[in-house]
Amino acid sequence: MPVIYIPYFSHPDPTSERRSGLLPPDIGISSKRGVYAEVPYYFALSEHSELTLTPQINAKVNPLMRVDYRKRFFSGFVDFEQLHQRAGLRWRRGDVRRGDWRSHVYGTGAFQINDDWLWGFGVERQTDDPRPAV
């Protein structure tokens, strides 16, 4: 009979190459989502770019899919996050019809032109009103 559990840290062999595969799942309880589970899958697209697909199952809201894309360049990086969810519940602001899709796209990027100059961008787009409900 176990008396105490001790957390541990594990990681792949440092000499192994980067490869695609399942990442550790995240299971928990949230006041807004209820019981939830996410199991991310990591794609090593190239030496400098990667994609992570994370399906999420929730007890209180519809399932959703999160897509994260990251790419490194010689002088900078880009990072995009997308989230897609099939609506079907009544939300705080307005009435969402069953079958509508909800989504957002957030992106950032930064590039160093030279030792003195850096430029970047930020992108945010969502299908819902970003203001909180009153």
* pLDDT one digit per residue (tens) for the chain, 134 residues: 767 777 666 666 778 788 888 888 899 999 988 999 999 999 999 999 999 999 999 998 888 999 999 999 999 999 999 998 877 654 445 555 555 778 899 999 999 999 999 999 999 998 876 555 55
**What pLDDT, on a 0 to 100 scale, did the predictor assign at position 90?**
46
Query: In one letter, which amino acid is 122?
Result: G
> How far apart, in whole angstroms, are the C-alpha atoms of residue 55 and residue 42?
12
Cβ burial 17-41 (10 Å sphere, 16+ → b, else e)? eeeeeeeeeeeeeeeeeeebebebe
> How far apart, in whole angstroms, are the C-alpha atoms of residue 58 and residue 133?
22
**What pLDDT, on a 0 to 100 scale, did the predictor assign at position 15?**
80
**What pLDDT, on a 0 to 100 scale, did the predictor assign at position 133?**
52
**What pLDDT, on a 0 to 100 scale, did the predictor assign at position 44?**
93
Residues in contact with 66: Cβ distance below 8 Å, sequence separation at least 6, in sequence order? 38, 52, 53, 54, 55, 56, 81, 82, 83
State pTM to two decimals. Answer: 0.73
**What pLDDT, on a 0 to 100 scale, did the predictor assign at position 102?**
82
> How far apart, in whole angstroms, are the C-alpha atoms of residue 68 and residue 85?
15
